[in-house]
C-alpha cells in the first residue's frame, strides 16, 4: 500500500539574503530547505538591496529537489507588504511570515499573494514566536485544513518567545517543553509541518545533536538551522535510523506472509503488532525512499 508522506524538511537553513558568501556556498550543502532571510538578519539600510538580490536569485533558480522559501519582514513593518508582493512573482516555494499573531494575519497575507497572482504552489509558512500566536495556535494551525489558505508549515521561534514572555531559554529548554509539545499537537491537528527552533550555539554540535534527537522524539518535522555544521546532525536525527528501518521491514514482511495476510493483529518478536503498526512501518519506508530520492543516497 502506498501512503502520501510529507516532503522531508529535516534541515531548514536560514541564510541572510545579503550574505553573498553564504549564498555561494549553498550548492555544497545538504540541507533540505533554504530560508532566505529578509527580516532580522538584514539591516534596514540593506532591505531594498536584499530584496533585489533575491529577485535575481529566483530569476535563475538552481534546478534540483531542494525547497527555497523567503522570510519576509513583518506585514506591519515598512517593508513587509512590498516583500510579499514581490515574492508572489518569484519562483519561490513559500513565504515565511514572522511574528504572526492570529489566523487573520495569514488570511491577509494570502490576499496579497492572490492579488499578486502568485501560483497555488506558493505556500505560506508562519513563525510561532509571540505569546499571542501561542494562545491562538489551534486556530492558526487549523488553516492547514483549507487549501485556499496556503498554510504548509509552522516554525517555533524560541528567541523571541523567550524575550517576550520572560521564560528562561536554558540549554535543556525545560521551561519551554509544554509550549513545544503544544506546537506539535496543533500542527498535527491542522495537517501542517512543525519545525523546531534554531539553536544559537552553533559551535556545540554535541548539544545540538542531542537537541535534534529530542525534537525528533517530540514529533517535530525537522529543525531550523543557522550554520552549515548543523545540517548533518539535523538530517541524521530526522531520518529513519537503521534500527527503525529494520523494524519497519520486519513488520511489512510479517503481514505479507500467507498465514498472517488476513490477520488484524499478530505477534512479532514477543510484541503485539496491529495493522496501525503496518501503516506506520509503511510510512517509515516511504519517508526513507523519499529522502533517498531527494539526496541520491541508497538506504
Ligand atoms: O567556508 P566558507 O568561508 O566559504 O563559508 C563560511 C560561511 O560563509 C558559511 N556559512 C553559511 N553558508 C550558508 N548559510 C549559512 N547560514 C552560513 N553560515 C555560515 O560557512 C563557512 C563557515 O562559516 P563560519 O563558521 O566562519 O561562520 P560565520 O562567522 O561566517 O557565520 C556565523 C553566522 C552565525 C553569522 C552565520 O552562520 C549566519 O549568518 N547564519 C544565519 C543567521 C540568520 O539567518 N539569522 C536570522 C534567522 S534565525 C532567527 O531569526 C530565529 C528564528
Q: Does 14 contact ligand 1 (Cβ within 6 A)?
A: yes
Q: Pick the range with the lowest mean pLDDT from 88-92, 256-260, 295-299.
A: 295-299
Whose cell is 534546478? That residue is 63
Q: How much is the ipTM here? A: 0.99
- Cα angle value 153/290/204 (rounded, 5°): 65
For residue 299, the model assigns a pLDDT of: 44
Residue 91, pLDDT above cutoff 70:
yes
Rounded mean pLDDT of 111-126? 96
Is 227 close to ligand 1, i.e. is its CB under 6 Å away?
Answer: yes
Count of C-beta atoms within a 10 Å radius of residue 180 = 22
The b-or-e profile of 211-241 (16+ CB within 10 A means b, else e) is bbebbbeeebbbbbbbbbebbbbbbebbbbe
Query: DSSP strand E in the chain: where?
Result: 11-16, 33-37, 67-71, 94-97, 123-128, 151-156, 193-196, 222-225, 265-268, 271-274
**With helix as H, strand as E and coil as C, how does 21-66 read?**
HHHHHHHHCCCCEEEEECCCCCCHHHHHHHHHHHHHHHHCCCCCCC
- Residues 55-70 pLDDT 10s: 999 999 999 999 999 9
Would the CB of 23 count as within 6 Å of ligand 1? no
Please state the φ and ψ torsions of residue 34, each to the nearest 5 degrees: -115, 135
- Is 15 touching ligand 1 by the criterion CB < 6 Å? yes
Cell (9 digits) for 163:
524575550
Tell me, yes or no, if the pTM score tops 0.90.
yes
Closest ligand 1 atom to residue 16 Cα is 44
Alpha carbon of 217 to ligand 1 centroid (Å): 27
Is 22 close to ligand 1, i.e. is its CB under 6 Å away? Answer: yes
User: Would the CB of 196 count as within 6 Å of ligand 1?
Assistant: no
Question: Which ligand 1 atom sits closest to the C-alpha of 34?
Answer: 14
pLDDT tens digits along 19-47:
999 999 999 999 999 999 999 999 999 99
Amino acid at each position: 500500500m502506498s501512503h502520501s508522506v510529507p516532503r522531508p524538511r529535516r534541515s531548514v537553513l536560514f541564510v541572510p539574503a545579503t550574505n553573498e558568501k553564504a549564498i555561494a556556498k549553498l550548492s555544497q550543502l545538504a540541507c533540505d530547505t533554504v530560508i532566505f532571510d529578509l527580516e532580522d538578519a538584514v539591516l534596514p539600510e540593506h532591505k531594498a538591496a536584499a530584496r533585489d538580490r533575491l529577485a535575481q536569485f529566483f530569476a535563475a533558480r538552481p534546478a534540483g529537489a531542494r525547497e527555497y522559501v523567503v522570510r519576509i519582514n513583518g506585514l506591519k513593518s515598512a517593508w513587509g507588504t512590498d516583500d510579499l508582493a514581490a515574492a508572489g512573482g518569484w519562483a519561490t516555494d513559500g513565504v515565511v511570515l514572522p511574528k504572526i499573531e492570529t489566523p487573520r494575519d495569514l488570511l491577509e497575507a494570502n490576499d496579497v499573494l492572490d492579488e499578486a497572482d502568485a501560483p497555488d504552489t506558493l505556500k505560506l509558512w508562519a513563525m510561532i514566536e509571540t505569546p499571542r500566536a501561542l494562545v491562538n495556535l489551534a486556530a492558526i494551525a487549523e488553516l492547514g485544513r483549507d487549501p485556499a489558505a496556503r498554510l504548509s508549515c509552522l516554525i517555533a521561534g524560541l528567541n523571541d518567545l523567550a524575550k517576550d514572555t520572560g521564560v528562561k531559554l536554558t540549554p535543556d529548554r525545560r521551561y519551554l517543553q509544554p509550549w513545544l509539545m503544544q506546537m506539535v499537537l496543533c500542527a498535527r491537528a491542522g495537517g501542517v509541518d512543525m519545525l523546531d527552533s534554531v539553536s544559537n550555539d552553533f559551535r556545540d554540535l554535541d548539544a545540538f545533536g542531542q537537541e535534534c534527537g529530542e525534537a525528533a522524539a517530540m514529533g517535530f518535522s525537522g529543525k531550523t538551522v543557522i550554520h552549515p555544521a548543523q545540517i548533518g546532525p539535523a538530517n541524521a536525527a530526522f531520518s529513519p535510523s537503521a534500527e527503525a528501518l529494520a523494524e519497519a521491514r520486519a513488520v511489512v514482511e510479517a503481514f505479507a506472509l500467507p498465514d498472517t495476510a488476513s490477520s488484524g493483529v499478530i505477534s512479532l518478536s514477543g510484541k503485539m503488532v496491529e495493522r496501525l503498526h503496518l501503516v506506520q512501518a509503511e510510512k517509515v519506508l516511504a519517508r526513507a525512499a523519499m529522502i533517498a530520492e531527494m539526496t541520491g543516497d541508497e538506504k
